């Protein structure tokens, strides 16, 4: 198996000379939940109390939001995080955004998206969806979108630091481990392999019998 990493220990590499920028590039895995659970509660209050939406409408928009997140996750990972411009500055930007994670995949402080990135993206997506859906519908839709994001971030941390025994979680972990250690050009879904299957970037079936098991990945990790 090719070595597509620098270190699998829970260690990091300094990316910025500036101490403030360096601190902003690292984040405790609990931070996304601390930030976005109150935001989800706020939108739930707007949906239920202010707009008085029915339970059916709320559930439908939440499910739609989760579904759209899965495609957003896939698209960001494939077309943004793995985009590598052919220039020195482009390679530097790629390393800051995602390359460092592939070089140090077990760095526990760089496994979830830092607020310096996630908050501007959340604001951008909110106004985009508000323009499409309107202020009422987006309140509920955004609950699902943020739930999807939190599931992605926390799942990503768990994949790299927890041993999985349940078949569902083991499948999710093995899918992402293949992305890291077999072929980073496939398997862009982290919390779900859905779009890899639809778009055709899943791993060939023939790798199923020969792929390393979670126990083998554990030796690497």
Give me the pLDDT at residue 136, please. Answer: 96
Helix (H, G, I), strand (E, B) or coil at 20: helix
Q: Give domain status of residue 120, yes or no.
A: yes
**187, 193 Cβ separation under 8 angstroms:** yes
Residue at 193 is within a domain:
no
pLDDT tens track for 61-71:
999 999 999 99
Q: Does some domain include residue 189? A: no
What does the pLDDT average to over 145-163?
A: 94
**Mean pLDDT estimate for the chain:** 88
In this prediction, residue 220 carries a pLDDT of 41
HSE-CB of 199 using CA atoms within 13 angstroms: 14
Instruction: Give me the mean pLDDT over the 108-123 stretch.
Output: 91
Segment 150-159 shows an average pLDDT of 95
Span 117-146, average pLDDT: 96
Residue 164 and residue 213: Cα distance in Å, rounded?
11
Write out the residue range of the structural domain in which residue 86 sits. 19-166
Kindly state whether residue 137 falls inside one of the protein's structural domains. yes
11 found inside a domain: no
* Any domain includes 3: no
Look at residue 67 and tell me if it is in a domain. Answer: yes
pLDDT given for residue 215 in this prediction: 44
pLDDT band at 2 (very low <50, low <70, confident <90, very high): low
- Per-residue pLDDT, 206: 65
What pTM, to 2 d.p., does this model score?
Answer: 0.87
> Would residue 13 count as lying in a domain?
no
Contact 100, 111 (CB under 8 A): no
Residue 133 near residue 150, CB atoms below 8 Å: no
| Percent of the chain whose pLDDT exceeds 70 | 91
Range with the lowest mean pLDDT among 21-30, 101-110, 172-181, 204-213? 204-213
Structural domain tally of the chain?
1
> Which pLDDT band, with edges at 50, 70 and 90, does 209 fall under?
very low
């Amino acid at each position: 198996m090719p070595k597509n990493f620098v270190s699998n220990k829970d260690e990091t590499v300094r990316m910025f000379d500036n101490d403030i920028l360096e601190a902003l590039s690292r984040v405790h895995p609990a931070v996304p939940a601390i930030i976005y659970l109150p935001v989800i509660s706020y939108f739930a209050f707007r949906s239920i109390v202010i707009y008085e939406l029915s339970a059916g409408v709320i559930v439908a928009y939440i499910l739609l939001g989760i579904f759209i997140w899965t495609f957003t996750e896939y698209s960001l990972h494939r077309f943004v995080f793995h985009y590598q411009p052919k220039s020195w500055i482009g390679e530097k930007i790629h390393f800051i955004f995602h390359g460092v994670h592939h070089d140090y995949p077990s760095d526990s402080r760089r496994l979830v998206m830092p607020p310096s990135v996630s908050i501007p993206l959340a604001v951008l997506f909110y106004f985009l969806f508000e323009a499409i859906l309107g202020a009422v519908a987006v309140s509920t839709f955004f609950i699902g979108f943020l739930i999807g994001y939190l599931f992605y971030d926390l799942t990503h941390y768990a994949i790299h630091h927890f041993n999985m025994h349940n078949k569902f979680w083991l499948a999710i972990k093995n899918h992402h481990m293949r992305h890291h250690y077999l072929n980073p050009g496939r398997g862009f879904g982290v919390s779900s392999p859905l779009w890899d299957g639809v778009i055709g970037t899943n791993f060939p079936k023939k790798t199923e019998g020969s792929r390393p098991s979670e126990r083998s990945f554990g030796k690497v990790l």
